[in-house]
């Protein structure tokens, strides 16, 4: 059974992999055997060094995915430096908060461009390679707001609803070509993106009261779902958005 989850010899791209959920996912894949290309705007190398300490090859690719210009370079660098491409985790994202009546075009475009547009075009570029080789795994990072409306985050809700949609669309097109496309929807995770919610005493309390698990999620809580969707264990799983939410949606 353990061989189903073995990623030895696989190569993964993880965007936004230097912090938070992305770092947790990258290290989970490395622990399962994958070599890792960490994509981020940050210069820190903690994730790369931690993956190397596990005996994996790991590189950092500096790229700003608020535009799609770096997409082809990310793919070509991964192929040249790590010798393959088997897994993509579209994790990079941002959130902007304001009442909808005050929300600006700049905040709308910034979030949509990073969270949705670049995620699609990176999936497209990786998908071309994966289709040609007859196999691959793409994991998009969705959200509770792929299912719900949220409050004061219109562009984030639109982007994450879009992620759920293109996950289904790409699965429809590519499942027969050996490429599995799925998504993970994290619940309320203790990361930089949710710092404002954690700091708001009333909001923090109301969130915790609804989570059956009784706590905020941690990046390590993403590990099992990520390895499952990246591995042979999910070869007949296509187009799902898997909640990892402590039971939030069941409430």
pLDDT at 1: 63
- What CATH number has the domain spanning 2-250? 3.40.50.720
pLDDT averaged over consecutive 10-residue blocks of the chain (251 residues)?
A: 91 96 97 98 90 98 97 98 98 96 98 98 98 98 97 97 98 98 96 85 93 95 97 98 97 91
Q: How many residues does the chain have?
A: 251
> Do residues 14 and 22 touch, judged by C-beta distance below 8 A?
yes
Which one-letter DSSP state was computed for residue 217?
B
pLDDT at 194: 83
pLDDT at 184: 98
pLDDT at 2: 72
Mark out the alpha helices in the chain (DSSP H runs). Answer: 20-31, 46-53, 71-82, 105-112, 118-133, 154-174, 195-199, 201-210, 223-230
The whole-model pTM stands at: 0.96
Catalytic residues: 156
pLDDT at 66: 97
pLDDT at 193: 75
Say whether 163 sits in a helix, a strand or coil.
Answer: helix
- Residue 51 half-sphere exposure, CB side, CA atoms within 13 Å? 31
Number of C-beta neighbours around residue 182 at 10 A: 24
């Amino acid at each position: 059974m353990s061989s189903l989850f073995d990623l030895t010899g696989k190569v993964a791209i993880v965007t936004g992999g230097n912090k938070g959920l992305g770092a947790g996912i990258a290290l989970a894949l490395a622990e399962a055997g994958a070599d890792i290309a960490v994509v981020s705007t940050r210069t820190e190398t903690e994730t790369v060094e931690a993956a190397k300490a596990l005996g994996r090859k790991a590189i950092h690719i500096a790229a700003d995915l608020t535009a799609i210009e770096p997409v082809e370079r990310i793919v070509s660098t991964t192929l040249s430096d790590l010798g393959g491409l088997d897994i993509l985790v579209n994790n990079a994202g941002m959130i902007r908060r304001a009442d909808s009546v005050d929300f600006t075009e700049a905040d709308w475009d910034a979030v949509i461009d990073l969270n949705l547009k670049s995620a699609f075009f990176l999936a497209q570029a990786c998908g071309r390679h994966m289709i040609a080789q007859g196999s691959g795994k793409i994991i998009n990072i969705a959200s509770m707001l792929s299912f719900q409306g949220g409050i004061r985050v219109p562009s984030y809700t639109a982007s994450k609803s879009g992620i759920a949609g293109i996950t289904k669309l790409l699965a429809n097109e590519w499942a027969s070509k050996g490429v599995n496309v799925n998504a993970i929807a994290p619940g309320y995770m203790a990361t930089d993106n949710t710092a404002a919610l954690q700091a708001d005493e009333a909001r923090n309390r109301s969130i915790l009261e609804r989570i059956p698990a009784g706590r905020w999620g941690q990046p390590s809580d993403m590990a099992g779902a990520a390895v499952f969707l990246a591995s042979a264990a999910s070869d007949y799983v296509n187009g799902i958005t898997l909640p990892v939410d402590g039971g939030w949606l069941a409430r």
